């Protein structure tokens, strides 16, 4: 395999094409018509972009891998209510630019392809990971992964506000990252006009930092996403003095893989001690980090178990590092009782 191209199988090619197309769609929605009126059951914001991107990738999977499962974050139930019909109409009109002749019924069908349970061979999608970042114009990601028998085999992240996979930059061309198991992690411009083998890919490697005091923690901008008090205790216990890197979404995994930080940590919130991560929130980012030389586990050091359905039911929280610092972080977590 060349160090300048990750293109070596049909699933990698699909992931690259699908995430590129969906990221362009999401960026268009952000420019033209961010919708703030629809809410998920947990009251976090949902946009037209979420549904349109899932419908688009659902349709592309139907065309390319019809025999494979698809587990997505969204379902069309809210869109089919009286209150959601206007939003469904907007989604359908946007998708008609990509899928001429698309109807509202077809859009709901494509979205709901992702409503099932994982199979032996399936794809999982977070169509807009980091919705609040998306609404603010900050970091968000389109995250797609292919899993076989409970193991992530291919992952792709589209990060429209991230330059070179590592530098937050609004209005940039954006970054596309892709990883295949045992083949490495690569990045190129999301707006690269070339495709496939002709595109300019750069192989990524995690930071070589081995001093825990110098560890740069990826800190969520959204305070509700983690236990900020526990993070403060951990930083004090380990004597970390490096400035944190504020960022939301799986774009954090991109920056970690590119060496722009050393630690991404999801502690359990004290208000939700039994919370378990959704597979689409971690699958693509986990392989991006691992194939760049990093390590990811839960807070007890256990590997992430993607064989338990739509959640990581056997794992508590998330710890992703450059590998060199993983043991130090696990020891620190144990000492603060996290």
Residues with a catalytic annotation lie at 50, 131
Would you give the distance in Å from CA 159 to the centre of its chain? 9
Angle between helices 48-64 and 10-32 (to 10 degrees): 150
Q: How far is 120 from 147, CA to CA, in rounded Å? A: 8
What is the radius of gyration, based on Cα positions, of the chain?
19
Q: How many CB atoms lie within 10 A of CB 88?
A: 21
**CB-based contacts of 187, cutoff 8 Å, min separation 6:** 164, 165, 175, 176, 177, 201, 202, 204, 254, 258
Q: Are 209 and 324 in contact (CB under 8 A)?
A: yes
Q: At 145, is the secondary structure helix, strand, or coil? A: strand
Would you give the distance in Å from CA 268 to the centre of its chain? 19
Angle between helices 85-95 and 104-112 (to 10 degrees): 90
Alpha helices in the chain (DSSP H): 10-32, 48-64, 85-95, 104-112, 131-136, 228-238, 251-257, 283-290, 326-336
């Amino acid at each position: 395999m060349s160090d300048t191209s990750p293109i070596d199988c049909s699933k990698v090619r699909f992931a690259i094409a699908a995430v590129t197309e969906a990221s362009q769609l999401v960026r268009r929605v952000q420019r033209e018509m961010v919708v703030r009126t629809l809410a998920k059951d947990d009251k976090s914001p949902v946009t037209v972009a979420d549904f349109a991107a899932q419908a688009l990738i659902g349709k592309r999977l139907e065309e390319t891998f019809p025999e494979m499962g698809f587990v997505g974050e969204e379902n069309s139930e809210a869109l089919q209510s009286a209150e959601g019909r206007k939003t469904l109409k907007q989604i359908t009109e946007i998708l008609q630019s990509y899928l001429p002749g698309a109807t509202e019924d077809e859009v709901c069908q494509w979205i709901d392809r992702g409503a099932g349970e994982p199979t032996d061979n399936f794809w999982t999608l977070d169509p807009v990971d980091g919705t609040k970042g998306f609404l603010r114009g900050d970091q968000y990601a389109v995250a797609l992964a292919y899993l076989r028998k409970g193991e992530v085999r291919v992952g792709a992240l589209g990060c429209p506000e991230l330059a070179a996979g590592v530098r937050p930059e609004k209005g940039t061309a954006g970054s596309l990252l892709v990883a295949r198991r045992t083949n490495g992690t690569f990045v190129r411009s999301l707006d690269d006009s070339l495709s496939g083998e002709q595109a300019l890919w750069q192989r990524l490697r995690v930071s070589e930092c081995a001093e825990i005091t110098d560890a740069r923690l990826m800190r969520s901008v959204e305070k509700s996403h983690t236990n900020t008090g526990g993070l403060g205790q951990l930083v004090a216990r380990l004597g970390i003095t490096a400035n944190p890197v504020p960022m939301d979404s799986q774009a954090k995994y991109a920056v970690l893989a590119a060496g722009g930080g050393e630690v991404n940590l999801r502690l359990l919130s004290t208000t939700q001690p039994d919370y378990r991560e959704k597979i689409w929130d971690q699958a693509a980012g986990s392989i991006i980090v691992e194939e760049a030389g990093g390590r990811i586990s839960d807070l007890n050091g256990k590997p992430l178990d993607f064989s338990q359905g739509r959640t990581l039911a056997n794992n508590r929280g998330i710890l992703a590092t450059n590998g060199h610092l993983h043991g130090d972080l696990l020891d620190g977590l144990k000492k603060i009782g996290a």
